[in-house]
């Protein structure tokens, strides 16, 4: 096992069969993998952990993803949208708290047309010069992605969710397709965003072979960010009775991705922290280097529930900001409050 990890570190890729072997034998390989992943990360980023202020600005969604708590079919959700003024206010608070990256995330809400989002992007970028702006608004046309990039958006997060066709169909309604998701990701990269793909670990019917396909896809896309977290069931979705993903398996995948993509920005996700009280610390110990504390205002926070038992829902943004700092200092890490671009990626070059 350990020689496979050495080879992964050196060659940055293995075959699907080798990945499956490693995943099957993760108990034996974990300590060594995490030590190597930390060494690789520290050689690039030192002790630094980057933070992003996550602003969940709408929970309206036209999609009906079977796993997601804010899916269109969930009538129990009380829906909200922040106004542009509210978004700007939260960014002002975030700026004071030291955030230099804001992530605007939401459901796929047609109310936020391409020009509306572009104007919000312009306002944020002109009110807070020097900040990086990440969008996570799902699948849009290439023209829309281009417009937002020209308006000043720097990064885009769009998890591919799974690289396997059959598995993708098991997680999504028939009107959604893996092909369309993948073409969005490649378009985003061509347009010049720093791009993040990613997937849930332990989503219903996922196999270790599927995870190997996800790893090979990460290599193919060569993204700047990779968001992975455990699947957690939501009570008002068709997957309510499915078991949550495994924390150890999630950590193991973080470690593998760190060896494959030494420069990647890899968050220890809120979902990981929701399933295990020390999940984010463990994520960092397995190779992650980004945290995304929630900046969403009270009144909205408790309505952006993609899964059950989400942490930080009742907390103030200030609390979350300093909570993650304390947690990181507790494991010998330092919060870096710069934009935290992908190494070598020139800031603000649309």
3-state secondary structure of 280: helix
104 binds ligand SAH (CB under 6 A): no
Q: Which helix (H) or strand (E) holds 56?
A: strand 53-58
Choose among 242, 245, 210: nearest CA to 230: 245
CB of 147 to ligand SAH, least distance (A): 18
* Cβ-defined contacts of 212-215 (< 8 Å, 24+): 212/16, 212/17, 212/19, 212/20, 212/23, 213/16, 213/162, 213/163, 213/164, 214/160, 214/162, 214/163, 215/19, 215/253, 215/256, 215/257, 215/260
55 binds ligand SAH (CB under 6 A): no
108 binds ligand SAH (CB under 6 A): yes
CA distance 216 to 41: 20
Q: Where are the alpha helices (DSSP H) in the chain?
A: 2-11, 16-24, 26-45, 84-96, 114-127, 142-151, 165-171, 178-191, 208-221, 247-260, 270-275, 279-285, 317-330
306 binds ligand SAH (CB under 6 A): yes
Stretch that binds ligand SAH, among 114-122, 165-173, 212-220, 230-238 (CB under 6 A): 230-238
CB of 235 to ligand SAH, least distance (A): 10
CB of 159 to ligand SAH, least distance (A): 4
Joined tokens for residue 252: 């193991």
Stretch that binds ligand SAH, among 4-12, 172-180, 229-237, 342-350 (CB under 6 A): 229-237
Residue of 5, 51, 68, 178 interacting with ligand SAH (CB under 6 A): 68
Stretch that binds ligand SAH, among 73-81, 153-161, 168-176, 287-295 (CB under 6 A): 153-161
223 binds ligand SAH (CB under 6 A): no
Q: What residues numbered 187-206 form the site for ligand SAH, per CB under 6 A?
A: 200
Instruction: Give CA 29 to chain center in angstroms.
Output: 25
CA distance 77 to 240: 15
Compose the 3-42 pattern: x for residues touching ligand SAH by CB under 6 A, - for all others. Answer: ----------------------------------------
CB of 83 to ligand SAH, least distance (A): 19
Residue pair 264/294 in contact by the 8 Å Cβ criterion: no
Residue pair 187/221 in contact by the 8 Å Cβ criterion: no
Stretch that binds ligand SAH, among 104-112, 125-133, 186-194, 292-300 (CB under 6 A): 104-112
CB of 68 to ligand SAH, least distance (A): 4
232 binds ligand SAH (CB under 6 A): yes
Residue of 271, 292, 317, 320 interacting with ligand SAH (CB under 6 A): 271
112 binds ligand SAH (CB under 6 A): no
CA distance 349 to 198: 24
CA distance 306 to 6: 37
CB of 274 to ligand SAH, least distance (A): 9
Stretch that binds ligand SAH, among 102-110, 114-122, 214-222, 282-290 (CB under 6 A): 102-110
Stretch that binds ligand SAH, among 185-193, 231-239, 285-293, 309-317 (CB under 6 A): 231-239
Contacts of 79 (CB under 8 A, 6+ apart): 59, 60, 303
Which residues contact ligand SAH by CB under 6 A? 67-68, 105, 107-108, 136, 138, 158-159, 161, 200, 229, 231-232, 234, 271, 306-307
């Amino acid at each position: 096992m350990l020689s496979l990890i050495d080879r992964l570190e050196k060659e940055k890729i293995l075959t699907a069969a080798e990945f499956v072997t490693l995943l099957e034998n993760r108990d034996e390989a974990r300590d060594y993998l995490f030590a190597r992943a930390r060494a690789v990360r520290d050689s690039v980023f030192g002790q630094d952990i980057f933070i992003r202020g996550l602003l969940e600005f709408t929970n309206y969604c036209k999609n009906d993803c079977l796993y997601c708590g804010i899916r269109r079919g969930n009538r129990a959700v009380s829906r909200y949208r922040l106004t542009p003024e509210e978004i700007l206010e939260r960014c002002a608070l975030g700026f004071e708290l030291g955030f230099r990256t804001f992530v605007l995330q939401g459901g796929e809400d047609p109310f936020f047309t391409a020009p509306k989002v572009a104007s919000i992007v312009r306002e944020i970028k002109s009110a807070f010069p020097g900040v990086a702006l990440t969008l996570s608004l799902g699948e849009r046309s290439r023209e829309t992605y281009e417009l937002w990039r020209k308006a000043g958006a720097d990064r885009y997060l769009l998890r591919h969710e799974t690289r396997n066709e059959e598995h993708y169909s098991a997680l999504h309604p028939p009107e959604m397709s893996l092909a369309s998701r993948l073409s969005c990701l490649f378009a985003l990269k061509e347009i010049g965003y720093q791009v993040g793909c990613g997937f849930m670990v332990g989503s219903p019917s996922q196999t270790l072979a599927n995870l190997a396909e996800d790893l090979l896809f990460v290599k193919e896309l060569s993204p700047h960010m990779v968001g992975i977290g455990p699947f957690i069931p939501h009570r008002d979705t068709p997957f309510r009775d499915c078991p949550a993903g495994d924390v150890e398996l999630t950590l193991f995948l973080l470690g593998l991705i760190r060896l494959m993509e030494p420069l990647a920005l890899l968050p220890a996700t809120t979902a990981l922290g929701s399933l295990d009280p020390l999940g984010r610390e463990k994520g960092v110990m397995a190779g992650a280097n980004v945290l995304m504390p929630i900046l969403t205002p009270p009144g909205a926070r408790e309505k952006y529930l993609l899964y059950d038992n989400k942490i930080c829902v009742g907390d103030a943004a200030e609390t979350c900001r300093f909570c993650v700092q304390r947690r990181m200092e507790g494991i010998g890490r330092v919060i870096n409050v710069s934009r935290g671009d992908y190494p070598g990626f020139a800031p603000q070059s649309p």
